[in-house]
Structure 1
Amino acid sequence: MNLSEPLEGLTSAVEGAVLRVLARADVGFSGRQVHALARVGSTSSVHRALAGLVRVGLVTAESRPPSIIYRINRHHVLWPVIDQALSSRARAFDSVREFCADDLPEELGLTVVVYGSVARRDSGLDSDLDLFVVYPDGIDDDARAEFNYQIAQHVERVTGNEAQVFSVERTELADRIDENDPFIENVLADGILIFGPPIGAGAGRAA
């Protein structure tokens, strides 16, 4: 699934983005405003998507010359389904968090961070979910490999996406931070903390 635009695959990428924009707001937008906020497709493709959603009743259109103002219709019988689908990114992250909480002793101090295209919200249907896992020093190699495998399997079960797991121990992480490692800097800049203690100022932002 596209964890940046969860409705893609169930509907077109443009329609999914339009629904996301309108669902997040309590005010209406013109077609041009929707296009600017959706950051996908062309102005004409966004207007076509809006027209289709108005036709099925999920979006309302109010004439306010020179514009038409569009709003999500939260009374529509399909709205609860759309609302659930739009929240699936957060629920996927919650599922990974719960998996870690159920599978790991709290005192272990393991950290799991989502980074890469999913964290930046520029992933697609075929994108992997990139996980950065920080283990305590001296973790057993077999235990580390097994958890990496199990968390990747869990991600695929709940999202359909493959997971790429990159893991380090805490001392190695500290050394690479001191060395201004570009990869670690990207993780810290883009990363979303899913589980465990934070690893830096950046990797703890909202999902």
Structure 2
Amino acid sequence: MDLRSPISTVIPSLDGPVLQVLARSEGGLSGRQIHKLAGTGSVAGVRLVLQRLATTGLVHVDDVGNSLLYHLNRKHLVAPAVEFLADLRSTLTGRLADEISAWRIPPVHASLYGAIARGGGDLESDVDVLLIRPDQIDQGDILWEDQAARLMRTVVDLTGNPAHVFELSRTELIGHVTEEPILNDWMRPSIPLSGLPLESLMADSAHLAVR
């Protein structure tokens, strides 16, 4: 799945990014605004897509002064499918959170970071998952490792992208606060899936590290 534009999995043409922008907007947008938000194609190409979509009734056009403003016709039969495709990242987050909520050994924290959290990436980008296990669970614990492995398989099944899980214990987090700048990548931004907020864990770990 193209992590930056998940809708392109089903709609690989310029129509996909254009519809994704419209599905995420409540108000009308000009062709230039849609082009800027879509981040692909040309202004002329985007306007051609909008004109074609308008003929299907999926997109409505309002003549406002000297501008044409476009918005998704949410009453159209196809609109719910477009909205679902435009929000695949949230659907993925929800599915992963649901799976983790059923774990017999709950994580202290679980979140997505990297390209998926930044809204970037492409077809080959990893889906990066941070897992912090309880201190009483040893590294290599069979049940814990099975849970993590199943989560990785779920990511691949849902997206087609490789999964990368970075795992450490709550105590091990203390060393990473002071030694591993990569922690900044985990926090800015990250998408929480389960457990305590990472900011709280980081603050606690930083406090313990200086004691």
What is the total number of aligned residue pairs between the two structures?
200
Report deviation, 1:63.
Answer: 3.1
Structure 1 contact 8–16 (Cα < 8 Å) conserved: yes
Residues 99 and 12 of structure 1, relative CA distance in 2, 3 Å threshold: same
Structure 2: distance between partners of 1:136 and 1:169? 6
Structure 1 contact 111–135 (Cα < 8 Å) conserved: yes
Structure 2: distance between partners of 1:134 and 1:10? 34
Q: Which moved more, 1:77-86 or 1:141-150?
A: 141-150
Report deviation, 1:170.
Answer: 1.1
Structure 2: distance between partners of 1:165 and 1:65? 52
Q: Output aligned runs, 1:65-84, within 5 Å.
A: 65-84=65-84
Q: Output aligned runs, 1:90-129, within 5 Å.
A: 90-105=90-105, 108-129=106-127
Poorly superposed stretches of 4+, deviation over 6 Å: none
What is the DSSP-based 3-state SS (H/G/I as helix, E as strand, rest coil) of the residue aligned with 2:11?
coil
Aligned partner of 2:198 in structure 1 is 199
Aligned partner of 2:149 in structure 1 is 149
Query: Are 1:41 and 2:41 an aligned pair?
Result: yes
Q: Counterpart amino acid of 1:66?
A: N
Structure 2: distance between partners of 1:83 and 1:194? 22
Aligned partner of 2:207 in structure 1 is none
Structure 2: distance between partners of 1:83 and 1:178? 42
Q: TM-score, normalised by structure 1?
A: 0.86
Aligned-CA RMSD value: 2.2
Q: Which moved more, 1:83-92 or 1:73-82?
A: 83-92
Percent identity over the alignment?
A: 31
What is the DSSP-based 3-state SS (H/G/I as helix, E as strand, rest coil) of the residue aligned with 1:26?
coil
Query: Are 1:189 and 2:188 an aligned pair?
Result: yes
Gaps of 5+ in 1: none
Structure 1: distance between partners of 2:199 and 2:13? 34
Report deviation, 1:36.
Answer: 2.3
Residues 125 and 53 of structure 1, relative CA distance in 2, 3 Å threshold: farther
Structure 2 contact 115–121 (Cα < 8 Å) conserved: yes
Q: Counterpart amino acid of 1:124?
A: D
Q: TM-score, normalised by structure 2?
A: 0.84
Structure 1: distance between partners of 2:97 and 2:26? 30
